[in-house]
Amino acid sequence: MEAALSELGASEQEVDVEVVQEPRSGFLGVGAQPAVVRVRRIEGSQESAEPDPELEEQVELAADFVEGLLDAMDVSADVDMNVVEGTQYVEIWGAESDEGMGLLIGRKGQTVDALQELTRAVVQSRIEGRSRVVVDVEDYRKRRRSQLVSKATSAAQRVRRTGRPERMEPMNAFERKIVHDAVAGVSGVESGSEGEEPERRVVIRRH
């Protein structure tokens, strides 16, 4: 799925996913088969402003799960739902102090990434299709987006000037999409992804 998103330069909100073949581990490696998915970009996904009942259901499920999880963790926080630049967020905001929010973000966003995966698994267990909701804590992902755009733009400009390719730090598919979009805004350069997860990264080259 992440490889497909990187190739398409799309986010999960902009594609339809069909599972063609489920993965199978086999016995002692014999008879193992990989998962196969078919990923298609949703036509007009950027322009459509029509209400999406399925996405609304996903948001409600995600918000309910996150609120219940925070209660179980005894973390005092507010949960909001918001759309920013076409992405549907379930946002967590500290009700008292930032200490608990720092724990929810984790080192390099590892904990908020784990929250994202938990929420995605719960939503997908209750609906058909993939979860299209992004979990954020104290705008961490949005700040990270701004940082990535700035770094990617600067790197792309250097590549255009020097002609030497540059490799970004390893990132997940969500962050690689942000970098691809930023590089696309700089003329004379292009970007692609290389490597295997979790070390997959964006490479910027001059045309």
Question: Has residue 48 been placed in a domain?
Answer: no
Distance set, CA 19 to CA 1, 39, 48, 142, 196 (Å)? 10, 9, 25, 30, 21
Q: Does 149 lie in the same domain as 133?
A: no
Mean pLDDT within 126-130: 83
Beta-bridge mates of residue 189: 206
Same-domain status, 31 and 63: no
| pLDDT beyond 50 at 47 | no
**In what side-by-side order are the strands of the sheet with 133-137?**
77-84, 87-94, 133-137
- Please count the CA atoms within 13 angstroms of the CA of 14 that sit on its side-chain side: 17
Q: How many Å apart are CA 62 and CA 92, to the nearest integer?
A: 12
- As given in the structure block, the two tokens for residue 35 are 């998962």
Decide the pairing of beta strands 133-137 and 36-41.
unpaired
Same domain, 20 and 86: no
Q: Are residues 58 and 133 in the same domain?
A: yes
124 lies in the same domain as 58: yes
User: Who wins on pLDDT, 88 or 162?
Assistant: 162
Instruction: List, as own/partner pairs, every contact residues 95-99 make where C-beta atoms lie below 8 angstroms and the sequence separation is at least 24, other chains included.
Output: 98/138
Helix (H) or strand (E) holding 91: strand 87-94
- Higher-pLDDT residue of 4, 111: 111
pLDDT band at 66 (very low <50, low <70, confident <90, very high): very high
Answer whether residue 47 is part of any domain. Answer: no
Percentage above 70 pLDDT, the chain: 79
Sign (positive/negative) of CA torsion 43, 58, 173, 145?
A: positive
Of 104, 120, 138, which one is at a domain's C-terminal end? 138
- Asked whether residue 46 is domain-assigned, the answer is no
pLDDT reading at 31 higher than 80: no
Is 11:178 a contact under the CB 8 Å cutoff? no
Same-domain status, 110 and 164: no
Mean pLDDT of the chain, nearest integer: 84
Tell me how far CA of residue 114 lies from CA of 30, 46, 77, 107, in angstroms.
Answer: 31, 27, 18, 11
Which range marks the domain in which residue 154 is found? 143-206
One domain for residues 169 and 106: no
Please check whether residue 104 is in contact with residue 113, taking contact to mean a CB–CB distance below 8 angstroms.
no
193 and 155, same domain (yes or no):
yes
Q: Are 14 and 37 in the same domain? A: yes
Q: How many CB atoms lie within 10 A of CB 170?
A: 14
Here the CATH number for the domain that contains residue 112 is 3.30.300.20
What are the backbone dihedrals phi and psi of residue 183, each rounded to the nearest 5 degrees, phi first?
A: -65, -35
Q: What is the number of alpha carbons within 13 Å of residue 140 lying toward its C-beta?
A: 26
The CATH number covering residue 176 comes to 3.30.1370.50
Q: How many domains are contained in the chain? A: 3
pTM metric for this prediction: 0.66
Is it the case that residue 12 has pLDDT exceeding 90?
no
Shared domain check, 198 and 130: no
